Amino acid sequence: MFLGKYKSKKIMIPEKPVITEKIKERLYPVVLRQFSMKDFHAVNIRDISKESGISTGTIYKYFSSKEDLCLFIIDEKLRDLASLLRMHLGGIEDIREMFRKLFWVTMNFFDNNPELAITVFITVPLKSFMADKSYKRKAEIDILNGIIEKAKTRGAIRSDIENHYFVDLYMMITHRHIQNWYIHGMKWKLSDTINKFFDFFWRVVAPLNEQELK
């Protein structure tokens, strides 16, 4: 009966200050280099500070820990990948070419950002990664779902396969090829592997009547 006298207080969580482009230019390459060269547990803020020339106090102003720092950068970079996908896929009408371009842009992006590829797919502990929003790759998956829906509407791919299986195929193929590239000493370009797997991918997703013709 007395509960109405008391108003619940909202807990205000302070927002992080916006990191400047100048700091990003100095900090991000160092962070990715550290995480791509060392095991996750061996990386520390002191070494990042020393190599980047940015004080530990400044780094902690923006990030609560090395995990926070690393995952923040991963999230931002993967959103850059989504932006590239939108740009390259715009104007393409052929569905097969859309899927091929999807793989090419993704692989070429990681060719151009090898330290990011290693950090994301090799270094970061999976449990920590899965707990972060960057793991969901929402912007990227939204783009892929858009392609899938367009393709199904046109009858260009199998309609009996649920959308998330197409997403799984895309993720599994790219992840596995990046891991294989790393294991073998990064001796080739990731984008050069597309010809080796794309026909297999297309045979899986193409309408059954098209598969029977081949």
Average pLDDT over residues 84-91: 95
pLDDT at 209 (0 to 100) = 72
Instruction: Decide which of 140 and 8 is more confident.
Output: 140
pLDDT, the chain, mean: 91
Residue 16 scores a pLDDT above 50: yes
The model's pLDDT over 146-195, given as tens digits with 9 standing for 90+, comes to 999 999 999 999 999 999 999 999 999 999 999 999 999 999 999 999 99
Q: Is residue 69 part of a domain?
A: no
Q: Report the domain count for the chain.
A: 1
Residue 61 scores a pLDDT above 80: yes
Residue 213 scores a pLDDT above 50: no
Work out the widest C-alpha separation in the chain, in whole angstroms: 76
| Burial of 10 from C-beta contacts in 10 A (0-12 / 13-18 / 19+) | exposed
- Quote the tokens at residue 205: 């997703």
What radius of gyration, in Å, describes the C-alpha atoms of the chain?
21
Q: Is residue 113 part of a domain?
A: yes
Residues 6+ away with beta carbon under 8 Å from 11: none
DSSP strands (E only) in 162-213: none
Global confidence as pTM: 0.88
The model's pLDDT over 192-208, given as tens digits with 9 standing for 90+, comes to 999 989 999 999 999 97
Q: Is residue 201 part of a domain?
A: yes
Q: What is the CATH number of the domain that holds 195?
A: 1.10.357.10
Residues 6+ away with beta carbon under 8 Å from 116: 32, 36, 74, 77, 110
pLDDT at 103 (0 to 100) = 97
The model's pLDDT over 112-133, given as tens digits with 9 standing for 90+, comes to 999 999 999 999 999 999 999 9
pLDDT at 2 (0 to 100) = 47
Q: What range defines the domain where residue 151 resides?
A: 74-207
